[in-house]
Structure 1
């Protein structure tokens, strides 16, 4: 494959550095691989050139690394969009009757109306007046939602990643050393329960990444982390083996309806039915509004596309009538 000059305008670096082609002073970056995420320390440094001509001549040497960095960038874009999509789903179609959000001694307490806690059949906007802290809001939106996210985001994940990665798997891990725990009150203490996430392998190499769309419930900010780093810093161990990821938007609900303990009460059945309709409404948008090349383009292009996507998704979700 021949050299293709990046379409986006080169950025001017704040401090000149050496040209990767000739060693002269340079101040413009390769826009194809700039801002790629780091897998190992220092392995994603930006590459600079003194001129377009020098960049073109250096392309045969640089192209393999550039393409690998672009794959990382696409994977990060996917992870960020998945998280934003799930947060949008929860923000617009929230189902907890919260009355307060308070952080005390390392635990974020989500207080809910005890009389309405069993009724999850209503859908309404998240009560923004309860907190101005973004981390606390995201923790409330993702609390005990990892299984839901794995199912709901299945079709969107596969659409986005089909040209990016060679393998997508799902696993449960035991979390350790989280910045805080999130506890629904009244509600069962979910501390110690396994946490579900994705493990993605990029082609042509041994890179394995974790995509954690609901790590906000533990105070985790990064949505994509190298696999070994995640296991070292955030998880104590794998609680289940890695398995193939083929979930549909209602996969977990299809299993729940077969469990007598989750359907013995009429309200439980109503809750599940409403949840199913809400997820199918989300899936309708994904089926019609996500194109194959969504992750392509410059960083500015992707920022704009993501903003429009989330805006339109929220508009679509507000049309849901549960």
Structure 2
């Protein structure tokens, strides 16, 4: 028998023994006073891991339906994923719609393209969902801006609209759990650098990816339109009617996403066995996709 409460929790330290096994119910009951505190800490980890997976799926599903790049080709050359696009003038509206799945059959490449340059979007879009899922978990959530020194599979947008090609500034969430004092990095868009794990211990994440903190952590209090509200005050992003309509269209999509979070997401999404969670996550993605497809087209 395994303790159902802490089964499938992630490891925080290398070589750490996670979970507990028993020969029967009496053995488990006898061990509970010794196991209780550690079990609760592992349950917090498991909720955090499941939340991380939900957030990544939520962002990728949102982007798959509300995609705004006019892509022409996706190819991996010399270890770099090249994302080729047609640039539009500032006077033209973005072509918002479904992701062009015909351009790649590789699921990891698709995720990388969907997440490319989306860490700021993720911070805003996923704020409401993050707080709702982790309402019962005692933790401090902060925003970190990092310089990624060692991406596994770099992505390159061509042309890159004036962005510095070697600038890998990346925004993630830092979680400090109480009372265990564990510190984790939640990275919902790391797939754009070839990172497969969405939840990694803080020290391990920084060391493995050769990261450098670019500024002090800030409290995570973003709403789904925080970044858009900031962009609305930048003259170069509001110079033409097309740019202003694009911002309005994105704001409408974000609010539509928020309706789904408020009405369709509950704490039960994090509960159950590992298989039950995988089934719920698949159902969550399907329901969110259907909801976003019901978004009225902007004029």
TM range (shorter): over 0.9
- Aligned ranges 1:168-179 → 2 under 5 Å: 168-179=141-152
TM-score norm. by structure 1 comes to: 0.87
The farther-off stretch of 43-52 and 147-156 is 43-52
Report the alpha carbon displacement of residue 112 of structure 1 after superposing the two structures with TM: 1.2
Residue pair 2:9, 2:42 contacting (<8 A) in 1 also: yes
> In the alignment, which residue of structure 1 is the partner of 2:96?
123
In the alignment, structure 1 residue 109 sits paired with structure 2 residue 82: yes
1:182 aligns with 2:135: no
1:252 matched to 2:227? The reply is: yes
Question: Hey, what does 1:75 align to over in structure 2?
Answer: 48
Measured in 1, the distance between the counterparts of 2:90 and 2:54 equals 30
- For the residue of structure 1 that corresponds to 2:111, the secondary structure is helix
User: In the alignment, what sits opposite 2:57?
Assistant: 84
Q: Distance in 1 between matches of 2:159 and 2:12?
A: 41
Unaligned runs of 5+ residues in structure 1 are 1-27
SS in structure 1 opposite 2:122?
Answer: helix
What's the CA shift for 1:71? Answer: 0.8
**Distance in 2 between the 1:241 and 1:153 partners?**
21
User: Which structure is higher in RCO with an 8 Å CA cutoff and minimum separation 6?
Assistant: 2
Shift in Å at residue 191 of structure 1?
Answer: 2.8
Cα separation, partners in 2 of 1:115 and 1:242, compared to 1, 3 Å: closer
DSSP 3-state at the match of 2:156: strand
Q: Is the 8 A contact 2:56 2:198 kept in 1?
A: yes
- 5+ unaligned residues in a row in structure 2: which ranges? none
Q: Deviations over 1:192-238 (max 9, x none)?
A: 14110100111112200000001111111110100011111114211
Distance 1:246 1:312 in 2: 26
In structure 1, C-alpha distance between the alignment counterparts of 2:88 and 2:140, rounded to whole Å? 45
Match of 1:284 in 2: 259
User: Which residue of the other structure, out of 97, 114, 117, is the alignment partner of 1:144?
Assistant: 117
Q: 1:293-312, aligned counterparts within 5 Å?
A: 293-312=268-287
What is residue 200 of structure 1 aligned with on the other side? 175
- Contact 2:269 / 2:281 at 8 angstroms: preserved in 1? no
Single out whichever of 150-159 and 117-126 deviates more from structure 2: 117-126
3-state secondary structure, aligned to 2:257:
helix
1:84 Cα deviation from its structure 2 partner: 0.3
Higher Rg of the two aligned structures: 1
Residues matched between the structures, number:
295
2:138 & 2:92 partners in 1: Cα distance? Answer: 40
CA deviations over 1:248-299 (Å, ceiling 9, x no partner)? 0000110111111221133221221111111111111111111234312222
Partner in structure 2 of residue 316 of structure 1: 291
1:223 aligns with 2:230: no
- Kept in 2: contact 1:121–1:274 (CA 8 A): no
Offset at 1:122? Answer: 3.2
Helix, strand or coil at the partner of 2:267 = coil
- Equivalent position SS for 1:59: helix
* Native 8 Å contact 2:124 2:227 kept in 1: yes
Corresponding residue number in structure 2 for 1:19: none
The two structures have a TM-score, normalised by structure 2, of 0.94
Q: Which residue of 1 aligns with 2:186?
A: 211
Q: Name the counterpart of 2:130.
A: 157
2:237 match: 262
